[in-house]
Amino acid sequence: MRFKNRRFDDADRVLNIRDLSVSLSGGHQRPILDKVNVTIHQGETVCLVGESGSGKSVTSLAVMGLLTKDALTVTGGVIDLEGQNLLELDHKAMRQMRARRISMIFQEPMTALNPVMQVGAQIEEVLDSHTKLPPREKKKRVVDIMNQVHLPDVERIYNSYPHQLSGGQRQRIMIAMALILEPKLLIADEPTTALDVTTQNQVLALITELQEKHGTAVLFITHDMGVVAEIADTVYVMKDGQIIEHAPVETLLRHPTEEYTRRLLQAVPSLIPRPARERNGAVEVLDVEGLRKVYGIRRLFSRAKPTLAAQDVSFSIIRGRTLGIVGESGSGKSTVARCIMRLIDPTEGEIRVASTDIARLSRRELRPHRRHIQIVFQDPFRSLNPRWTIGQSLIEGQLNYGTSRSEAIKRSGELLELVGLPADALKRYPHQFSGGQRQRIAIARAIAMRPDVLVADEAVSALDVSVQAQVLQLLDELQEKLGIAILFITHDLRVAAQICDEVVVMQHGRIVEHDTAANVLMHPQHDYTRALIEAAPGRHWDFANFKELEPA
């Protein structure tokens, strides 16, 4: 692993945040930011790391002067940009700082671009707002910066709308927009989180390239330690609105001083697959054969083309083992999961659950077979009915299959304990639980049906790494205890490595590689698989053990 080991002690300080505090407007609760200190030098990349709610985004918005006025107020401190305290500027002066001296790019390039405006015009708007260049000159500048961010076919993209571009292209537009006036400081708020791993890699490279070219200071906000390892010069760790530790990147990763930082690093799943479980017996609990799903059947006078979401998908899972489906967005992995659950109807193919083909059953015929296969969804906040107590949610399925109410309640209590929650949780409502707890409840609901197969559709993707590790741990234990087969859908190779016995790699609706986890991750055969693995940030670093990854 090669870290950036540049030193910036001699470089000019671009941004110096001193004792910045932010509170909820009018509130007297704990401050959102509590005496935050951050320094960034010219050409330096500072990563601000923390779990959700730690205050990283608030810090960046405070620097931009974009805090929601009604909600958040700066209560103290200084934000010093090259000797000028931004907090003392009036609206107009602050507006003139933006894009010229400090720029920002955001997490979700789709929503961050105005959907009804051509992207060229959106870049040009920066020049409109801050310069008085003649139109031709403006266009030239825009085309130039678009070339610098390596956009293909600039003339066409100039006149495109955001929805006509790919996610990576949109983020490049954002970067072009941010850098066209060569600001001193670029704030990047989780700029690659919404992107696929291969695209993420390219965008990170682009940011680094442009930073070096223009000497821009970068404040990079992320939750992903892999990204940190790739890009940071200096790392600041945030927790509950405070900076708890900061150090050059290598120092931090090798010798974290704070306990919190250590835990954070230890929670990062390793890319080295865990040992596979043994195949006890060979009972195939789920067997998918030639699955195919086509969306959008042609209608009269309609130009909508049918999309092939999945085809020729075949695999099977044995009792007690975990099969991972890995792929980038649009690869068809979720379509497969939803077809197997019969939440959508497959176009072709067989889905045998407990040796019954359920692919063609009607809703009514299907109901007796439902209990054999259960699902846990990605979003813990939407997967429980907010109006129902946990108890009601847990007994619903059991009652459907003839369990008596008292029996069901008793079992639900036991299940809660099994997933590590107190039994009195039965009487409470979902909003009283954290995301991780809700995901445990969702798992309890699924296993209450005593299923043969549990489908986990990105079940840990929305969770912070520490929570993610716990939930993965729980799934592991349950599988051990109950012998359930798990179909684990994920985009994250690290997670797949930690939970899967076998891995299926999907691309464009097809399976490109299917082998044991160890083989897929350590000896990938297909180019696409290799590309995926190479793009994984920080893949040479063993975060949990604070050292380089030893080649297997």
Partner 1 sequence: MFIDKTFHRRWHNARTSVFAAALAAATALGAAAPAHADPDTITAVMHSGLRVLDPIITTAHITRNHGYMIYDVLIAEDENFEPQPQMADWEVSDDNLVYTFTLRDGLKFHDGAPVTAEDAVASLKRWGERDSGGQLIFDVTESLEATDEKTITWKLKEPFPPFLETVAKQSAVPPFIMPKRVAETPSSEPIKEYIGSGPFVFVEEEYQPGVSVTYEKFADYVPREEEASWMAGGKVVNVERVKWVTMPDAQTAINALVAGEIDYIEQPQFDLLPILQGSPDVTVEVRDTLGYQTMGRMNFKHPPFDNVKIRQAALMAMSQEDVLGTLVGNPEYYSVCGAIFGCGTPLGDETGAETLTSGGDIEGAKALLEEAGYDGTPVVLMQPTDVTTLTAQPVVTAQALREAGFKVDMQPMDWQTLVTRRASMSPPAEGGWNLFFTNWMVPEISSPIVNPMLNGRGDEAWFGWPDDPKLEELRAEFIAADSVEAQKEVAKRLQAYTLENVIYVPLGQYVPPQARRNTITGMLPSPVPVFWNVDKTE
Partner 2 sequence: MAAAPQPTSSLQFILGAVAVPRHWQLGIGPIIAAIVLAIIVVATLFAPLYVPHDPLSMDAVQRLKGPSSEYWLGTDAYGRDLFSRVMIGGQVSLFIGVGAAIVSVFIGLLIGLVSGFFRIADAIIMRIMDSLMAIPSILLAIALVALNGPSLWSVIFAITIPEIPRVVRLVRAVVLSAREEPYVEAAIAVGSSMPKILWKHLMPNTLAPLIVQGTYICASAILTEAILSFLGAGVSTEIPTWGNIMAEGRIYFQIKPSLIFWPGLMLSLCILSINLLGDTARDLLDPRLKKREG
Partner 3 sequence: MLGYIIRRILAVIPVMAIVAVFVFLLLRLTPGDPAAILAGDMATPEQLARIRESLGLTDPIHIQFINWVGRLLQGDLGTSLISNTPVMSMIGSRIWPTLQVGTLTIIISVLIAVPMGVIAAWRHRSWIDYAVMSFSVLGFSVPVFVIGYILIKIFSIELRWLPVQGYASPSDGIGAFFSRALLPCLTLATIYVALIARMTRASLLEVLGEDYVRTARAKGVKEKYVLFRHALRNAAVPIMTIIGTGFALLISGVVVTESVFNIPGIGRLTVDAILARDYPVIQAMILLTSAIYVFVNLLIDISYTFIDPRIRY
Interface ranges with partner 3 (CB under 8 A): 64, 66, 70, 95-100, 103-104, 106, 108, 111-117, 125-126, 128-130, 161, 163, 174, 177, 299-303
- Comparison of 65 and 183: residue with beta carbon closer to partner 1: 65
Q: Provide φ and ψ at 210, rounded to 5°.
A: -70, -35
Identified binder of partner 2 from the candidate list 379, 476, 492, 515, rule CB under 8 A = 379
Among 110, 343, 547, 548, binds partner 2 (CB under 8 A): 343
**Cα dihedral sign for 402, 407, 413, 414?**
negative
Residue from 129, 329, 400, 473 that binds partner 2 (CB under 8 A)?
A: 400
Nearest CB to partner 2, comparing residues 58 and 127: 58
The DSSP bridge pattern shows strands 102-105 and 185-189 to be parallel
Q: How far is the CB of 51 from partner 3 (least distance, A)?
A: 22
Decide: 38 and 243 in contact? Cβ < 8 Å. yes
Q: Which amino acid is at 102?
A: I
Q: Which helix (H) or strand (E) holds 454?
A: strand 453-457
385 belongs to the binding site for partner 2 (CB under 8 A): yes
Q: Please, which residues bridge with residue 414 across strands?
A: none
Residue from 2, 28, 91, 303 binding partner 1 (CB under 8 A): 91
* 304, burial (CB in 10 Å: exposed 0-12, middle 13-18, buried 19+): exposed
Binds 103: which of partner 1, partner 3, partner 2, none (CB < 5-8 Å by kind) = partner 3
- Nearer to partner 1 by Cβ, of 98 and 440: the residue is 98
Q: Where are the alpha helices (DSSP H) in 401-464?
A: 405-418, 435-447
E strands, 258-303, in order: 284-295
What is residue 292's three-state secondary structure?
strand
Shortest Cβ distance from residue 257 to partner 2 (Å)? 36
Asked if 95 touches partner 1 (CB under 8 A), the answer is yes
Partner interacting with residue 108 (select from partner 3, partner 2, partner 1, none; CB below 5-8 Å by kind) = partner 3
Q: Residue 26, interface with partner 1 (CB under 8 A)?
A: no
- Give the integer Cα–Cα distance in Å for 160 and 223: 32
Residue 363 touches partner 2, criterion: CB under 8 A: yes
C-alpha 355, offset from chain centre: 36
Beta bridge partners of 486: 322, 454
Nearest distance from residue 32's CB to partner 3, in Å? 18
What's the chain's Rg over C-alpha atoms? 26
The nearer residue to partner 2, 385 or 545, going by C-beta atoms, is 385
Structure tokens that stand for 508 in this block: 């464009």
Closest CA to 445 of 478, 468, 469: 478
Looking at the Cβ atoms of 85 and 164, the one nearer to partner 3 is 164
**Shortest distance, position 369 Cβ to partner 2, whole Å:** 9
Provide the binding-site residues for partner 2, judged by CB under 8 A: 70-71, 341, 343, 363, 367-368, 370-371, 373-375, 377-379, 382-385, 387, 393, 396-397, 400-401, 442, 445-446, 448-449
